[in-house]
Amino acid sequence: MIDKYNDLVKSFLKLKTGSEMLEFLKGILTPKELDQLSTRLEIVKMLKQGVIQQRISKKLGVGIATVTRGSRELKLGRFKKV
């Protein structure tokens, strides 16, 4: 399954600037998907700041399951550079 993501990862790594990355993301994602991706990043940042899950869910207008998923991934050691 990881092989299927190699081209995507390589494409990300070729991008040199924030504007290149944003244009790539706008081209590959729908506006809704891009918004959801931004929201998930905000969830992770808030979790790392110690904000409780219920408050994150309410503030960002997402389900508690979405926040819990972010919390679970954080505990697995992902998002170290976020």
Residue spans of alpha helices (H) in the chain: 3-14, 18-28, 31-48, 53-60, 64-75
Domain ranges of the chain: 3-75
In this model, does residue 50 exceed pLDDT 80? yes
In this model, does residue 2 exceed pLDDT 80? no
Give residue 1's pLDDT: 58
Dist. CA 39–CA 45, nearest whole Å: 10
Is the domain spanning 3-75 CATH 1.10.1270.10? The answer is: yes
**CB-count exposure of residue 70 (10 Å: 0-12, 13-18, 19+):** buried
Give residue 81's pLDDT: 85
> What mean pLDDT do residues 19-28 have?
96
Task: Answer for the pair 44, 7: CB distance below 8 angstroms, yes or no.
Answer: no
Averaged confidence pLDDT in the chain = 94
> What mean pLDDT do residues 66-73 have?
96
